Structure 1
Amino acid sequence: MDEILDPYLEYSALEKKLASRTIRAYSNDLRSFNTWLNERGVVLPEAAAADVAEYMAFLSSTGYSPVSIIRKLSSIRGFFRFIQASGQRSDNPVELLHSPRQPVRLPHAVSVETVAALIDVWNADSPISTRNRALLELAYGAGLRESELTGLTVSRVFLEEALVRPVGKGLKERLVPLGGAAVRWLSLYIDTARPLLAGGRSTPVLFLTYRGNPLSRMTVWNIVKRSAEMAGIKEHIHPHILRHSFATHLLRGGADLRVVQELLGHADIKTTEIYTSVDTTYLRGVIDRYHPRSVGT
């Protein structure tokens, strides 16, 4: 199986520059499909469209969600595109298959007041508190993903210019301006707290644990969860909500959709347009609450 999958996975990593966890997901999806095919006397490179369609039906019948099935079908489609392009097969059995309809999930944003309460629980009374405040200010102030926060290096933070250059999906870089609060707390963290956490060791990563190691994504989740608990916030809060709120609050304030797309690092504007649906819901609530012909109707 490895000799079949390895060239495709290497191509996805080196040429398409996909993240390692995406490569692992592709590998798991394709190995599962291959096992299912082998039980029916078929090998992966020779699967027909009917085999793929039957496998999708099997996944649905065993309780997989449309989102999971769409992802698995995407993995299979990509593999067959690769072997077709490399001349190992003349057709792509997945090309004409339609993905299940995916439910539209609107991103959940919280109010400006909730974000402020979440961030304000941390101050400069310890290196960890300073780090947490700087991290949350950056997450909300620049709309960074968890992976961008944990992978950010000191060399990618330009405090004098008030800019940060994160590395996003597909190893794509972008420049994001920083607001005054993010600059102040990042400056304080880098100058005072980070050297104490680093303990004299040289490390390029910006956010460090108390042992001087890079923060993990799970640690970022725990920081946000702990912040919500300390602030008495009852809503379910996770790091990506700060990114959602960053985008929603910008649009609500009148920012151009294309600008928000660039700030978020979205390759497709359709991804950013989801946030306009959220803001429309907010606007509908304003009309229903305040318009004289809507109140009480």
Structure 2
Amino acid sequence: MKWREAINDYETFLKIERGLLQNSIDSYVYDILRIQKFLNENDIKESPIEISQETVQNFVYQISKELNPRSQARIISGLRNFFDYLVFEKYREANPVDQIESPRLGLKLPDTLSIADIDLIISAIDLNYQFRGVNLGHRNKAILETLYSCGLRVSELTNLKISDLFFEEGFIKVKGKGNKERFVPIGKNTQKLIDIWLDIRKHIDVKQESKDVLFLNYKGNQLTRAMVFTIIKKLVEKVGLQKTVSPHTFRHSFATHLLENGADLRSIQMMLGHESITTTEIYTHIDKSQLNKVINTYHPRK
């Protein structure tokens, strides 16, 4: 079995069996292509079913000189999954990555915004902004409010459908990782902003494939993830906020603010769509950091 054949089979598995989005599949494949490039550069003629643990170890040693520990760990994990698949399909008898340890990682807490930061960014949106005759200011405000008030991933936001809106019940239906669906509460204020955008959307020449897509560009096509990043980047620059802010920052802020205001971890897990509560537990570390800050600031024996 050649590398291209194995990668194509694996892509199909990730798409059909695991239900991953194309962006996630591309990330997995990119890391596999790195080891294929390593083999070519070192004139190593080992196929995916022949590659040895020693070769993989040499590859890991090479990337350890080029990448930070977190990137190394991601690549090792991706390769382990790839070779697990080959073992599962009986192309190999053993996984050459099984005995290779990932670098130790310190706890990386997600970046968050304060409520004041979020208000500052959203208030900077020009509601009169138009492009090619389409008012995009109200769209942008609805986008940011939806990201923050519902804690969505950017791909979940761009894939949101009009048919996913259940405003009378106070929920939206979200399709997350692995095509798993969940219902997330949506507040009245965010509903109102979306309704304003829907009125504007009626005057756009919507492309057939995007008829049910909620957020569109001025051409009537589905909004891209990259454009959401751009909208946020420009607003952050506009207000002069000295922080790195992405769509995911709004999601992290959503979870952090809920926890700080007394929400239970299980409810936050369900709203974020985390498969395991251990993923959600990272926000308890953020909360503890805030408690340490309070002690160090206000306690007389600090």
TM-score (norm 1): 0.91
2:39 is aligned with 1:31: no
In structure 1, C-alpha distance between the alignment counterparts of 2:15 and 2:206, rounded to whole Å: 34
Counterpart of 2:300 in structure 1 is 292
In structure 2, C-alpha distance between the alignment counterparts of 1:279 and 1:272, rounded to whole Å: 12
2:136 is aligned with 1:128: yes
- Following TM superposition, by how much is the alpha carbon of 1:282 offset from its aligned partner in structure 2, in angstroms? 1.1
2:113–2:253 contact (8 Å) kept in structure 1? yes
2:150–2:185 contact (8 Å) kept in structure 1? yes
In structure 1, C-alpha distance between the alignment counterparts of 2:157 and 2:69, rounded to whole Å: 30
Q: Which whole-Å deviations, capped at 9, do the CAs of 1:171-227 have from their partners, x for residues lacking one?
A: 22111001122111112211x22112x236552111111222211111111211222
In structure 1, C-alpha distance between the alignment counterparts of 2:206 and 2:82, rounded to whole Å: 47
Between stretches 121-130 and 271-280, larger displacement belongs to: 121-130
Q: Counterparts of 1:172-211 in structure 2 under 5 Å?
A: 172-190=180-198, 192-196=199-203, 198-199=204-205, 203-211=211-219
- Following TM superposition, by how much is the alpha carbon of 1:273 offset from its aligned partner in structure 2, in angstroms? 1.1
Counterpart of 1:274 in structure 2 is 282
DSSP 3-state at the match of 2:95:
coil
* Alpha-carbon spacing, 1:15–1:290, altered in 2? closer, same or farther (3 Å): same
In structure 1, C-alpha distance between the alignment counterparts of 2:62 and 2:206, rounded to whole Å: 56
Whichever residue aligns with residue 117 of structure 1, its letter is: L
Unpaired runs of at least 5, structure 2 = 130-134
In structure 1, C-alpha distance between the alignment counterparts of 2:145 and 2:233, rounded to whole Å: 15
In structure 2, C-alpha distance between the alignment counterparts of 1:152 and 1:247, rounded to whole Å: 20
Between stretches 105-114 and 120-129, larger displacement belongs to: 120-129
Q: Counterparts of 1:59-208 in structure 2 under 5 Å?
A: 59-61=63-65, 63-122=66-125, 124-125=127-128, 127-190=135-198, 192-196=199-203, 198-199=204-205, 203-208=211-216
Whichever residue aligns with residue 52 of structure 2, its letter is: A
Which of 209, 216, 234 lines up with 1:226 in the alignment? 234
- Following TM superposition, by how much is the alpha carbon of 1:2 offset from its aligned partner in structure 2, in angstroms? 2.2
DSSP 3-state at the match of 1:174:
strand
* Alpha-carbon spacing, 1:238–1:87, altered in 2? closer, same or farther (3 Å): closer
DSSP 3-state at the match of 1:175:
strand
DSSP 3-state at the match of 1:165:
strand
DSSP 3-state at the match of 1:13:
helix
In structure 2, C-alpha distance between the alignment counterparts of 1:86 and 1:145, rounded to whole Å: 32
Between stretches 50-59 and 225-234, larger displacement belongs to: 225-234
Whichever residue aligns with residue 205 of structure 2, its letter is: G
* Alpha-carbon spacing, 1:28–1:233, altered in 2? closer, same or farther (3 Å): closer
When the two chains are superposed, the root-mean-square deviation of aligned CA atoms in Å is 1.8
In structure 2, C-alpha distance between the alignment counterparts of 1:229 and 1:33, rounded to whole Å: 38
TM-score (norm 2): 0.90
Q: Which whole-Å deviations, capped at 9, do the CAs of 1:252-292 have from their partners, x for residues lacking one?
A: 00100111111111112222111111111111111222223
DSSP 3-state at the match of 2:49:
helix
In structure 2, C-alpha distance between the alignment counterparts of 1:101 and 1:75, rounded to whole Å: 16
In structure 2, C-alpha distance between the alignment counterparts of 1:79 and 1:233, rounded to whole Å: 41
In structure 1, C-alpha distance between the alignment counterparts of 2:84 and 2:162, rounded to whole Å: 39
Counterpart of 2:132 in structure 1 is none
Unpaired runs of at least 5, structure 1 = none
Whichever residue aligns with residue 296 of structure 2, its letter is: D
In structure 2, C-alpha distance between the alignment counterparts of 1:19 and 1:65, rounded to whole Å: 26
Give the fraction of aligned pairs with identical amino acids, expressed as a percent.
37
- Following TM superposition, by how much is the alpha carbon of 1:130 offset from its aligned partner in structure 2, in angstroms? 0.9
Task: State the aligned residue count.
Answer: 291
Q: Which whole-Å deviations, capped at 9, do the CAs of 1:123-159 have from their partners, x for residues lacking one?
A: 6545211111111110100011111111111111112
